[in-house]
């Protein structure tokens, strides 16, 4: 029994971390219409920077700063934000598919940098020497994982509430306006480039937060964690859950991560031994089919975007009697 609960905690922690990442992507794509095809670069920047800043000295790569954990995590978020700012300045004038291609290229470059620059992040061996916070006091067992899950859940809820407020604010309406028609927004005196950059950096900071928590959870990160696979998974979560809806983003994260792990388990249990070599590929086909199916039959996702009425909008117009 404890094994099942322990696994559920592990599953829920990973799904919650991914849900934070999906919320970051939802701000970029769902609310602003920015096609970030390089999600994993910003996720990875958060993970790598958190572990490098919070880790113990290592002979093989940069590190040894041993920052207080919250500062290391903030550093991870800042690194993702800085990367997004630089990438955004260079690419945000591009539209849709071109932006997706450019950001995908950034993610591939990031992975290759991490794989080859051993002095920076340990190369293919990854970042070592990171101790999970409070590990000495709590140990490595179930209690630690349960408390870590609680912390991740609080951060997920806080991120959700922050984004809900943001979407309902005038700035949130501006994001949707730019998503719908940049030219019309410009004609109202809005500067789309500046606003798109703000949304891109904010979403990437949230992706960096998720990456930092992911790195903390596993106390390790390597180039294998920043493969395009993760970008694909996070996009699947958003498309299935419902782009533009933060609840949909969270729901999609849990659903797709559940489907991903369940399909892996089912294939390892029931598929012929020789077919199990291809478990990962079969999982991709399954998830890809789900995405295609959703886009064909329910492109708005399981929880579609809802109309947000601001507090000002709710105020009756006394003068008009409406």
Partner 1 sequence: MPDAILQAKGVTAGYVPDLPILKDVSITARAGQVTLIIGPNGAGKSTLIKAIAGLVQMSAGQIAFDGGDITGIRPDQLAQHGISYVPQTDNIFRSLTIRQNLDLALRGARGDAAATLARLFDQFPALAAKHRDKAGTLSGGQRQFLAIAMALASAPKLILMDEPSAGLSPKAAQEVLEHARALTEQGVSILLVEQNVNQALRLADHCYILAEGRNQVDGSAADLLGDSIVGEIYLGGRRVGAA
Which residue of 119, 137, 187, 296 would you call a contact of partner 1, by CB under 8 A?
187
Which residue of 82, 176, 282, 291 would you call a contact of partner 1, by CB under 8 A?
176
Q: Per CB under 8 A, which of residues 121..140 are in contact with partner 1?
A: none
Phi, psi of 306 (to 5 degrees): -105, 155
Give dist(CA 201, CA 207) in Å, integer: 10
The DSSP element (H or E) to which 71 belongs, if any, is helix 69-91
Shortest Å distance, C-beta 33 to partner 1 = 11
Which residue lies nearer to partner 1 by CB, 56 or 191?
A: 191
Nearest-CA neighbor of 204 among 77, 93, 92, 33? 77
Shortest Å distance, C-beta 298 to partner 1 = 18
The DSSP element (H or E) to which 302 belongs, if any, is none
Number of neighbours of residue 150 by Cβ within 10 angstroms: 12
Which residue of 190, 261, 282, 290 would you call a contact of partner 1, by CB under 8 A?
190
Number of neighbours of residue 128 by Cβ within 10 angstroms: 19
Of 66-74, 91-99, 262-270, 301-309, the segment contacting partner 1 by CB under 8 A is: 301-309
Of 54-62, 129-137, 212-220, 303-311, the segment contacting partner 1 by CB under 8 A is: 303-311
Maximal CA-CA distance, the chain: 75
Contacts of 69 (CB under 8 A, 6+ apart): 54, 133, 216
Which residue lies nearer to partner 1 by CB, 59 or 320?
A: 320
What the block records as the tokens of 265 is 């388990």
Shortest Å distance, C-beta 173 to partner 1 = 5
Nearest-CA neighbor of 92 among 78, 79, 106, 80? 106
Does the footprint of partner 1 cover residue 180 (CB under 8 A)? yes
Does the footprint of partner 1 cover residue 188 (CB under 8 A)? yes
Give residues in contact with partner 1 (CB under 8 A). Answer: 170, 173-174, 176-177, 180-181, 183-192, 305, 307, 309-310, 312-313, 317, 319-320, 322
């Amino acid at each position: 029994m404890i094994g099942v609960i322990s696994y559920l905690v592990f599953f829920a922690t990973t799904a919650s971390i991914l849900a934070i990442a999906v919320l970051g992507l939802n701000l970029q794509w769902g609310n602003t219409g920015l096609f970030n095809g390089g999600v994993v670069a910003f996720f990875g920047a958060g993970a790598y920077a958190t572990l490098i800043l919070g880790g113990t000295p290592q002979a093989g790569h940069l590190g040894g700063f041993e920052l207080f954990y919250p500062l290391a995590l903030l550093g991870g978020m800042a690194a993702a934000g800085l990367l997004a700012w630089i990438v955004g300045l260079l690419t945000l004038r591009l539209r849709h598919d071109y932006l997706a291609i450019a950001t995908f290229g950034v993610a591939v470059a990031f992975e290759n940098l991490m794989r080859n620059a051993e002095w920076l992040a340990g190369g293919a061996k990854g970042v070592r020497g990171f101790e999970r916070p409070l590990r000495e006091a709590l140990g490595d067992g179930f209690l630690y994982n349960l408390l870590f899950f609680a912390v991740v859940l609080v951060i997920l809820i806080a991120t959700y509430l922050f984004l809900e407020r943001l979407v309902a604010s005038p700035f949130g309406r501006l994001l949707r306006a730019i998503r719908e028609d940049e030219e019309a927004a410009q004609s109202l005196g809005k500067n789309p480039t500046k606003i798109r950059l703000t949304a891109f950096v904010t979403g990437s900071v949230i992706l960096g937060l998720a990456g930092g928590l992911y790195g903390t959870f596993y106390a390790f990160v390597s180039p294998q964690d920043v493969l395009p696979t993760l970008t694909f998974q996070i996009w699947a979560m958003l498309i299935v859950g419902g782009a533009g809806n933060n609840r949909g983003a969270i729901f999609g994260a849990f659903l797709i991560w559940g489907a991903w792990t369940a399909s892996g388990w089912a294939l390892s249990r029931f598929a012929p031994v020789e077919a199990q070599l291809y478990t990962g590929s079969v999982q991709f086909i399954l998830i890809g089919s789900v995405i295609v199916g959703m886009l064909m039959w329910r492109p708005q996702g399981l929880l579609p975007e809802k109309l947000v009425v601001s507090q000002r909008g709710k105020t009756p117009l006394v003068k008009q009697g409406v």
